Amino acid sequence: MNKWLELLVGLILVVGMILVAYYSSGAMTGQAWAVAGKSLNFWNAAWVFLKGGVFWFVIGIGLLFILLGLSDLRG
pTM: 0.67
Residue 10 sits in which domain range? 3-74
pLDDT tens by residue, 9-57: 999 999 999 999 988 888 777 788 888 888 888 888 899 999 999 999 9
Domain count, the chain: 1
Q: What share of the chain is helix, strand, coil (3-state, %, to 5)?
A: 75, 5, 20
